[in-house]
Amino acid sequence: MRRKKTVDNENVCLEIVKMANNAKTGYLQSIKLAKQKEFEKAVEKINESDEYFNQAHDVHTKLLQSEADGGKTDVDLLLVHAEDIMMNAEMSKIFAMEIIDLYLRLSEK
């Protein structure tokens, strides 16, 4: 009988937190760049932050795949926190893109 593998939840969650928090910070920095009319740098910061978000998403996907393959994932406060940071990062990008667009429109007037 195959024994189910337990995922090292703590390290996985900390990796998600680190990458998603880097993404969120970058998205917020892109707003500051747009406010200073540094639109190209703002877009570069969005793209750089997307790389961090994608890394967090990849780690999270591996966690989901492990669960789908019969692995046991302990749902604890750290995992909830990691997923919360990911959702905040995603929302930060959405707001950053809208705010950058607004600053760009204002600068054209």
Assess if residue 99 is contained within a domain.
Answer: yes
Domain count of the fold of the chain: 1
Binding residues for Mg(2+): 84
Assess if residue 4 is contained within a domain.
Answer: no
At 1 the pLDDT is 43
Give the CA angle between residues 20, 94, 33 to the nearest 5°.
85
pLDDT in tens, 6-58: 557 888 999 999 999 999 999 999 999 999 999 999 999 999 999 999 999 99
Assess if residue 14 is contained within a domain.
Answer: yes
Catalytic residue ranges: 81
Binding residues: 84
Assess if residue 34 is contained within a domain.
Answer: yes
pLDDT in tens, 87-98: 999 999 999 999
Assess if residue 2 is contained within a domain.
Answer: no
CATH of the domain at 14: 1.20.58.80
Assess if residue 1 is contained within a domain.
Answer: no
Q: Find all residues with CB under 8 Å of 73, minimum gap 6, and list them.
A: 7, 9, 63, 66, 67, 79
Assess if residue 3 is contained within a domain.
Answer: no
This prediction's pTM = 0.87
Cα 9 from Cα 35, distance rounded (Å) = 39
Structural domain boundaries enclosing 55: 9-68+75-107
